[in-house]
Amino acid sequence: MPCAFRVRPGRLRERSQLTGKRPGIEEIVAAVGTAGPVLDMGCGSGRLTVALAAGGRDVTGIDVHQRQLAGAEKRARTAGVDVRWLHADMNGPLPFGDAAFGAAVSRLSLMIADDPVATLAEVARTVESAGVVVSAVWANVEENPWFTAPRAAVAEVLGAERAAFARHFGRLGAVDELEAVHRHAGFEQVEVVVLRDHIEASSPAAHWGFLTGTIGHYTRIAASLSADEQAELGRVLGRTLEPYRSRERLQLPRTMLMAVARR
């Protein structure tokens, strides 16, 4: 059964269920509520941005990568929604006036910011005083073996250099740390929601298929493997994931943190 309890009122809530293969999207949309217009900071390929627009919100998505923006535009056209896309860097001044938005969101982008406090402070400038800022990041690596255990297997077989991807995974991934960067950026009300679930797989090979089919880092690793490397990686991956076996299936924990902040 889902659980919901508070540790320090108004600061931390824990839920037992993440939703979907792209976790955090539904949770962020719900946290934004009816606020608008909305800024999606570091929108990437636009999954969250399009979900917000599909819910009837007026959304602007920004990203520093033109290729990502092109993919986001295509996603919006396919979904039949209108979104404003803008090439902009979250690490510098944003090209918006004060209080231009009713809400701002980010999913897995704050953890790669050069200076998360400065980024949040600039985002706060663009959000009206009664608005909300919602930031989702992966929790620390120990709480996400669905991703980090296979990466450890890659390191064992292929070496540390080829496994040196997603280096920011788990950054800001402790509740106190995520809360602190928002408070230092000027937010007085900060609630951190811990979202947990498990990824189930019938076998290590099935989980590897999930990773290589949904995450670019693993897709590129898989494409680079020789036949011998593929066989060895399969063997090591089986050993690495064995601690997460429950009866006939693997159950791999997955945890995300979501900060909901107001000034």
For 203-232, how does the pLDDT look when each residue is reduced to its tens digit (9 = 90+)?
999 999 999 999 999 999 999 999 999 999
| Stretch 98-111: mean pLDDT | 97
Reference 234, options 116, 136, 154, 149; nearest CA is 154
Task: Judge whether residue 79 has pLDDT over 60.
Answer: yes
pLDDT given for residue 19 in this prediction: 52
Which pTM does this prediction carry? 0.90
Write out the two tokens for 138. 């992966």
| % of residues, the chain, pLDDT over 70 | 92
> At which residue do the structure tokens 């923006």 appear?
69
The predicted pLDDT at position 22 comes to 73
Q: State the Cα–Cα distance between residues 110 and 171, nearest whole angstrom.
A: 9
Report which of residues 35 and 106 the model is more confident about. Answer: 106
CB 213 within 8 A of CB 22: no
Cβ-proximal residues to 63 (8 Å cutoff; 6+ apart), any chain: 42, 43, 44, 69, 72, 85, 87, 88
Average pLDDT over residues 49-62: 97
Whole-number average pLDDT of the chain: 92
The whole-number pLDDT of residue 2 equals 29
Q: Binning pLDDT at 50, 70 and 90, where does residue 36 land?
A: confident
* Amino acid letter, residue 125: R
pLDDT of residue 14: 55
CA dihedral 182, 8, 199, 212 (to 10 degrees): 10
pLDDT bin (cut points 50, 70, 90) of residue 84 is: very high
- Kindly list the distances between the CA atom of residue 216 and the CA atoms of 130, 165, 210, in Å, as whole numbers in the listed order: 37, 10, 11
What's the pLDDT band for 92 if we cut at 50, 70, 90? Answer: very high
Report CA-CA distances (Å) from 178 to 23, 159, 163, 196, 203.
Answer: 18, 31, 26, 16, 34
Each residue's pLDDT tens digit, 1-32: 223 222 333 455 555 455 555 789 999 999 99
pLDDT of residue 1: 26
| Residue 18: predicted pLDDT | 54
Whether the predicted pLDDT of 75 surpasses 60: yes
Is residue 42 predicted with pLDDT exceeding 70? yes
